[in-house]
Amino acid sequence: MNKIRILIALTAIGFMIYGVNRGELPLIFQKAIRICMECIGLG
Amino acid sequence: MKRKLIQIVATLITNSQLTNFLSGKLYKGSLKNFCSPGLNCYSCPAANFSCPLGAMQTIIASARFSLSYYVTGFLILIGLLIGRGVCGFLCPFGLLQEIFYKLPLPKINLWRPLIYLKYFLLVIFVLMLPAILKLGDPAFCEYICPAGTFEAAIPMLITHQEFRSAIGDLFKLKMIILIATLIGCMINYRFFCKVLCPLGAIYGLTNKFSIYRLHVDENLCINCGRCKKICKMEIDPSKNPNSIECIRCGDCEKICPKKAIRI
């Protein structure tokens, strides 16, 4: 089980690094710092 | 008491920009690059972090990507560590539900098949609709999420008079969902977590392999049923200790007369 957990952890960290490298964070940031009109029901 | 303290501290860490409730502004600092582990609308004036569900939908609905590796990796990692313990300890909306449950109203058990609705919402509203429509809109946030209505819509409408003229059918729908959710939370423990939360659905799947988990010593268990009776998530910890519904609250561990359950 521990080997599986290590594999899952490495996969998860790899996903995060890949996501950051390909530029996902700026998209998330730009959405998060503006009032989301959809989220407040006015979109 | 300890769990409640952790919940309060986690809520304050997630939402420390409290003065923004008066100004109606949003925190725009670099912490918004990162997701909070629990459900917390990033349009909540007090929010420091991004909502993981909102972030995931934003990426899926974007023109450039179809899946968020960053958010998926984050959720898997957090789930690996504590599973649905996020719900039990770190989620601000979970804390809110527990507060509403304390109101002196009749309590009822949940019709069990309803717990599968959150998986439907996850697949359709969080994953498929943003990917199909590609309008950049987070479908779950837009049409369903009562956390966004409560934490963001209401404070923003109070402080931004100019938004009130834009109130239409969508807002009315979201208010109906919010009111129904809050009533559900008053009469059934963590109704939203059980029935509607796609984030809980995701973390629940990680319960089977999370490091923070329940262990039941079958040699000590006398099948007295006390753990099942006290479990407010309506599961039987002695039979299914790492159920996808378990939020790791620890009530079963405390009540077990033989100390057969350990977290």
Q: Which of A16, A18, A41 sits opposite B170 (nearest CB)?
A: A41
Tell me the C-alpha distance between B119 and B205, whole Å.
10
Domain boundary among B166, B185, B205: B205
pLDDT at residue A2 above 80?
A: yes
Number of domains in chain B: 2
What local confidence, expressed as pLDDT, does residue B16 receive?
Answer: 96
Residue B57: domain span: 2-205
What local confidence, expressed as pLDDT, does residue A42 receive?
Answer: 86
- Report the percent of chain B where pLDDT is more than 70: 100
pLDDT tier at B136, thresholds 50, 70, 90: confident
Q: Find the DSSP H helices in A1-43.
A: 2-21, 24-32
Q: Which of A1, A12, A42 sits opposite B166 (nearest CB)?
A: A42
- Report the percent of chain A where pLDDT is more than 70: 100
Q: What is the mean pLDDT of residues B143-172?
A: 93
Query: Both B226 and B189 in a single domain?
Result: no
B209-235 pLDDT, tens digit each: 999 999 999 999 999 999 999 999 999
Query: Both B188 and B245 in a single domain?
Result: no
Q: How far is B227 from chain A (nearest CA, A)?
A: 26
pLDDT tier at B134, thresholds 50, 70, 90: confident
Interface of A with B (CB under 8 A): 1, 4-5, 8-9, 11-20, 22-25, 27-29, 31-36, 38-43
What local confidence, expressed as pLDDT, does residue B71 receive?
Answer: 98
Contact A31 B41 (CB under 8 A): no
B153 inside 8 A of chain A by CB: yes
Tell me the C-alpha distance between A18 and A11, whole Å.
10
Domain boundary among B205, B231, B254: B205
Q: Residue A7's Cα: distance from chain center in Å?
A: 19
Decide: B187 and B106 in contact? Cβ < 8 Å: yes
Contacts of B202 (CB under 8 A, 6+ apart): B75, B79, B122
Decide: B122 and B198 in contact? Cβ < 8 Å: yes
Per-residue CA distances from B77 to A12, A13, A14 (Å): 6, 7, 10
Query: Both B43 and B23 in a single domain?
Result: yes
Query: Both B232 and B168 in a single domain?
Result: no
What local confidence, expressed as pLDDT, does residue B150 receive?
Answer: 96
Sort out which chain B residues have CB atoms less than 8 A from A11's CB and list them: 73, 76
Query: Both B64 and B22 in a single domain?
Result: yes
Q: How far is A23 from chain B (nearest CA, A)?
A: 10
Query: Both B195 and B222 in a single domain?
Result: no
Mean pLDDT of chain B: 95
What local confidence, expressed as pLDDT, does residue B256 receive?
Answer: 96
Sort out which chain A residues have CB atoms less than 8 A from B149's CB and list them: 40-41
What letter does residue B261 receive in the DSSP assignment?
A: E
Q: Which residue of A has its CA nearest to B52?
A: A28
What local confidence, expressed as pLDDT, does residue A12 receive?
Answer: 98
Which residue, among B155, B232, B150, B243, has the nearest Cα to B204 in the 3D structure?
Answer: B243
Contacts of B94-98 with C-beta under 8 Å, sequence gap 24+, read B94/B7, B94/B38, B94/B39, B94/B190, B94/B193, B94/B247, B95/B7, B95/B8, B95/B10, B95/B11, B96/B150, B96/B185, B97/B185, B97/B189, B97/B190, B97/B191, B97/B192, B97/B193, B98/B7, B98/B189, B98/B190
Query: Both B141 and B249 in a single domain?
Result: no
What local confidence, expressed as pLDDT, does residue B129 receive?
Answer: 93
Torsion angle of the four alpha carbons B82, B83, B84, B90, in this order, in degrees rounded to the nearest 10: 30
Residue from A10, A21, A31, A34 whose CB has the most chain B CBs within 10 Å, to mutate: A31
Please report, for the domain that includes residue B236, its CATH number. Answer: 3.30.70.20
Contact A32 B32 (CB under 8 A): yes
Query: Both B160 and B190 in a single domain?
Result: yes
**This prediction's pTM:** 0.94
pLDDT at residue B151 above 90?
A: yes
Contact A19 B71 (CB under 8 A): yes
B57-110 pLDDT, tens digit each: 999 999 899 999 999 999 999 999 999 999 999 999 999 999 999 999 999 999
pLDDT tier at B137, thresholds 50, 70, 90: confident
Query: Both B169 and B226 in a single domain?
Result: no
Q: What is the mean pLDDT of residues B133-144?
A: 88
pLDDT at residue B1 above 90?
A: no
pLDDT at residue B179 above 90?
A: yes
Decide: B136 and B62 in contact? Cβ < 8 Å: yes
Query: Both B112 and B230 in a single domain?
Result: no
Query: Both B62 and B142 in a single domain?
Result: yes
Sort out which chain B residues have CB atoms less than 8 A from A19's CB and list them: 68-73
pLDDT at residue A1 above 90?
A: no
Query: Both B199 and B237 in a single domain?
Result: no
SS3 B259: coil
What local confidence, expressed as pLDDT, does residue A41 receive?
Answer: 87
Q: Which of A1, A12, A31 sits opposite B73 (nearest CB)?
A: A12
- Six-digit token pair at B120? 């439907």
What local confidence, expressed as pLDDT, does residue B180 receive?
Answer: 97
What local confidence, expressed as pLDDT, does residue B119 receive?
Answer: 97
Tokens 């560590």: give the residue: B81
